[in-house]
A and B are shown apart, each in its own frame.
Chain A
Amino acid sequence: MTHTYEKPTINKIDFAMASKYGSPLKTQKIRQHIDGVNLDTLTEQFGSPLFVFSQQTIEEKYHALNTAFTSRYPDVQFSWSYKTNYLNAICKIYHDLGSIAEVVSEFEYQKARALGVEGKDIIFNGPYKPKEDLKIAVQEGAKIHVDNLFELGDLEEIADELGIRIPVAIRINMDTGVYPQWSRFGFNFENGEAFDAIERMYDKGKVYLVGIHSHIGTFMLDANAYRVATMKIMQLKTQVESAFNAQIDYIDLGGGFASKSNLKGVYQSAEVIVPTVDDYAEAITGAIYEFNTSDTLPKLYLETGRHLIDEAGYLLTSVQGWKRFPDGKKGYVLDAGVNLLYTSTWYNFNIELDKRYEGENEPSMLNGPLCMNIDIIEENLMLPALDRGSILSISPVGAYNYTQAMQFIRYKPAVVLIDTKGKPRLIKEVDDLATINYKEV
């Protein structure tokens, strides 16, 4: 009988707990409030489970990243990655902070437009852009980032139909020394595919290049990869500018900056392994200065999503019951399941208790309400004995979890935003039967 290969993992043992002074007090992580609002108040008022976002954290993270780049480089523009979290209230915060919109589908494009974002302030990315929607985006002056030759063909047809030359950017992929390499979006740099596509643009003369875009991956733990990416973009820029007498106005480094989430199977904590904003900013701006051959510096776009929003989001969930498994482990039944926590596949969440509990910690498992064997939020966690009704806050869950949350056997929960004055505000109500039946015919 052969065994299936399983990736080895090392899990950190809490030394503070194991020491002779070890006090269980220290190993309980407590969160009684978010931005000064008590968790009890929140669940009483808005129900459980509940997504909570902190506007203060959103703004702090934004300012930190923004300052890291704008203090080093004269022309930086952030673009809110809609797919990370497109709740209207959240998008609005980013737009108010000065971000434009980065969308990857016609749905997101429409969402941005509905929020009052002008076409010129939308970056339209993604591997599939339906032609009719692409045409609208072109007419409205959006920044189109071409992903493949079919799309380029569509754009050339649209150019003919509208009788204009369309300014476009090209999405490229490349080897930055990080694996797996993201090579399925855009045109490859190393094998000359990207340059060939640009050559075709100028041969046909229907579109012209104004920007170069890459997005090298997600949760990038090596800031140097951005240096390599920037270098290659700048090299292509120089190449294109001299070959076609063109001027590339902007470069777009996409997103992928890590948030302080603990990756599963990684021994060290997020503080240790995640690069700082200074690391990312220095890598990118340093490479632009170093490899710029033009008289002017290109505008720099960044489509950071996860890094900005992840730590601002919490999921509050209540203990509904517990049981003792045959192996002696304690199992808690929560009212939120993995259908709301899409990222639980990759990250160990930070799970905090609503108050200090008496008693020894013991190995516990957290399960959701899904009636599915896979509904495990945490498989093995040292917890004291919790009561029915205890509120756990799960974080960071600001990125992707809400947009990718799946409605399954229960209603999608409500979302609350705590504003900078510490006032909670409902930004999305809990679904009901009507919401779910709405489009059924």
Chain B
Amino acid sequence: MKSYKVLMKEILKPYSAILFLNNRVAGVLVLAITFLNPSVALSGLIAVLTTVLFAKLIEIKDHYLEYGFYIYNSLLVGMGIGYIFEVSFKSIVLIAVASAFAFMFSFMLNRLFSLYKIPILSLPFSIVTMFVYLASLKYSTLYTTLVNHATMYDISLPLILSAYFKSVGTIFFLPNNLAGLLLLLVVLYFSRIIFLMSTVGFYFGVLSHSFFIGSFEQALYDPYAFNYILVAIALCGIFLLPTLKNFIISLIAIVMSVLLTDAIGTLFHYYAIPVFTLPFNLTVITVIFILSITYYKEFNYNIKSTPEASLSHYLNTIFRFGAIHAKVALPFSGEWSVYQAFDGEWTHKGKYAYAYDFVKRKKGKSYQGEGVHLDEYYCFGESVLSPIDGYVVDVRHDLEDNYIGSIDRVNNWGNYIILRSPSGYFIEISHLMQHSLNVNIGDYVKVNTPLAKCGNSGYSPEPHIHIQVQDVGVLGGFTREFCFTEYYQENVLVSNAVPKHDENVSSVIIDKSIQSKLLFILDEKYTYDIFIDEKYIDSYTFSVKMNTLGEFYFEDYEHNKLYFNSTPTQFYFYHYSGVESHLKRMFILSPRIPFVRKDFVTYEDYLPLNLMKGSFQVLMLELASIVQKNLARLEQQYTLTSETIRSENGKVTLESNKKGFKTIAYKNVVLRRVA
């Protein structure tokens, strides 16, 4: 029974994957639509089945098949054969061999392409089918069963629509108005963005084609116009996020694909082989290659089931956690001022632009008295605290602290410490006090650990802390952009940001007791009594689970899942799947719990669209956020007082001396912990 289910999944997945969808229902619908041409449909099915059988034969693990793209190339090959040859014993043999070939070829290409993080798309199909068509020119016996390309049923439509619908159908070897219309309806139901890009792609491609060839009608008749559709969807929705900038990139790429289609068409014409999806593949792979290698910001690094889901995931991640990869804590305690920020006026320039200098100031001055002695400077001798959890990779501490008015021009960096973050970057902190190191090379330090004291060694006119993030662990490495995880400005807890020149910031010191209250361990159960209007209603239990990706979540008896994670400085929820539930409310009430203890602190967070809005609103906002990203920015204000998090939606209180949440209250509902 289980293997049958897996088999169904493996068979249906490629059908929806060709439309860039990931949905079993979509798979069933697409499979049904292919039966408009039974030969295509059967050949496709045979290809998928033989591929799966072949995969079992060579004992490929199931999770390879789950990716789908190994099989959809076989499916396309199969449908391609079914399109020209009626199903027969010979054609089945051909399909079996060709689809096994396509499968292995896909596997090989994927291994090579994945080195550069680029997809194989339907390139294996284009190449394998090319070979099959070339070879079959010699197999005259097959042509006795050459089929009529026409499908069983069709409707007639004006050319301008019909050309589009047929193009969509052609993706599945079904150049048929009805097939195109049905496929588009499936697409529209699952993703408006794909639908939109398909339409834009087709007509923009045809328009630009007609611009070159001088005839709109002739452009409409081009059998390979579906390439434009695929390019448009892939570059504005699937591999790149559906944003305005990517829309423009995809328009450029569509014109590229027009050129390629004509060029390849001219070449292939001599050998009587169709162009298939080769223009699409070449265009998209070329564009993605450069954007992937250069870390293009609006690249879709986390492809979700639809472009809508990808976009809202991306936006929510950016809003909540910032776009900058390297995040560090402030390297001190208490309130300090920014002496020099990024692109500072003195030394933070060029390759060294991404650095921060901090001093302590009282009433605008960094020293008391006349500021002629080091000990008159407020920050001289203050602790330098570790900004990350990481390893000490290099230190120096023998240089003398310059007296005021002198500077060490030889050893610019002065006494320093270099830390390595497990996330792959390095942090350099400079101008430390002579002989003040508390740590040694090789030590593992945690956020807030005192590392050394603030001093005045190196190129330092007055005692200060210099901090920068580098790609390499050597002194003087070029800097890269970073931001600070958290800091206070007055009573506001600011996250993933950088303060401006001369601004005052206070550091966040971690209270490990809060951290330990939110250390949830697999299979722990949390049970609550539910009160509505202070009347006992029912009991509610959720437990701690983990999925195969190592993601932890709370799950209740209705299988609603609330995913959470912890960093050294905070606990947060990041994904919810399920229906309306108390778990969903917990996400809204406390999306993030910083490990801080303060009498009163406020902070903002941004909630995912689907948590806050009805499904129609979500649909509209998802579309609108393509143009205006801030529409997906659902800002929510939170205040934290001792161990209670409040917002306009309600409040959550942590247990005072054990793990977990004590009460969860929203509207007229209160959940009180019983076990």
Which residues on A are within 8 Å of B, measured CB to CB? 15-16, 26, 29-31, 64, 67-68, 70-74, 223, 260, 269-272, 274, 276-279, 282, 285, 289, 295-297
Contacts and interface: CB of A to CB of B under 8 A. Distances in A.
Nearest to A280: B450
B657 A272 contact: no
Interface string B512-552: 11101000000000000000000000000000000000000
Interface in B416-469: 433-436, 438, 448-450, 453
A272 B463 CA distance: 13
Nearest to A274: B381
Contact of B381 (A15, A70, A74, A271): A271
B450 A282 contact: yes
A19 to B, nearest CB: 9
B372 interface: yes
B613 interface: no
A272 B372 contact: no
Give the most central of A29, A70, A71: most B CB within 10 Å.
A71
B348 interface: no
A72 B383 contact: no
Given A26-B372, A73-B513, A278-B333, A272 B435 contact: yes
Interface string B656-668: 0110000000000
A269 B509 contact: no
Nearest to B375: A271
Interface string B623-663: 00000000000000000000000000000000001100000
A277 B381 CA distance: 11
B391 interface: no
Contact of B449 (A16, A64, A74, A282): A282
B399 to A, nearest CB: 13
Nearest 8 pairs of A and B residues by beta carbon: A271-B381, A71-B509, A278-B383, A276-B383, A296-B657, A74-B513, A278-B450, A289-B512
Nearest to A75: B513
Contacts of A279: 383, 438, 450
A361 to B, nearest CB: 14
Contacts of B657: 295-297
A71 B375 contact: no
A30 B512 contact: no
Contact of A16 (B370, B403, B511): B403
B353 interface: no
B382 interface: yes
B374 A271 contact: yes
Which residue among B381, B436, B448, B596 has the maximum number of chain A CB atoms within 10 Å of its CB? B381
B669 interface: no
Contacts of B372: 26
Given A29-B373, A72-B512, A276 B597 contact: no
A68 B434 contact: no
Query: Counting chain A CB atoms within 10 Å of each CB, which of B374, B436, B450, B453 scores highest?
Result: B450
A272 B434 contact: yes
B380 interface: yes
Interface residues of B, number: 36
B597 A30 contact: no
Contact of A271 (B334, B370, B380, B512): B380
A73 B369 contact: no
B510 interface: yes
A289 B383 contact: no
A71 to B, nearest CB: 4
Given A74-B597, A282-B448, A276 B381 contact: yes
A72 B435 contact: no
Nearest to A64: B334
Given A223-B450, A279-B383, A295-B658, 9 more contacts: A16-B405, A26-B372, A29-B373, A72-B448, A278-B333, A278-B383, A278-B450, A295-B657, A296-B657
A72 B381 contact: no
A285 B448 CA distance: 12
B462 to A, nearest CB: 14
A296 B597 CA distance: 17
B325 interface: no
B200 interface: no
Contact of A30 (B370, B450, B510, B514): B370
B213 to A, nearest CB: 71
Interface string B357-389: 000000000000110111100001111010000
B369 A72 contact: no
Contacts of A16: 403, 405
A272 B597 contact: no
A278 B509 CA distance: 10
A74 B373 contact: no
B369 A30 contact: yes
Contacts of B450: 223, 276, 278-279, 282
Nearest to A70: B597
A269 B381 CA distance: 10
Contacts of A70: 597
Contacts of A29: 369, 373
Nearest to A223: B450
Nearest to A285: B512
Nearest to B453: A276
A71 B449 contact: no
A121 to B, nearest CB: 21
B403 A31 contact: no
A64 B507 CA distance: 12
Given A64-B334, A272-B434, A272-B435, A71 B382 contact: no
A283 to B, nearest CB: 9
A70 B514 CA distance: 12
A268 B494 CA distance: 39
B598 interface: yes
B333 A68 contact: yes
Interface in B464-492: none
A31 B597 contact: no
Contacts of B370: 30
Interface in B584-641: 596-598
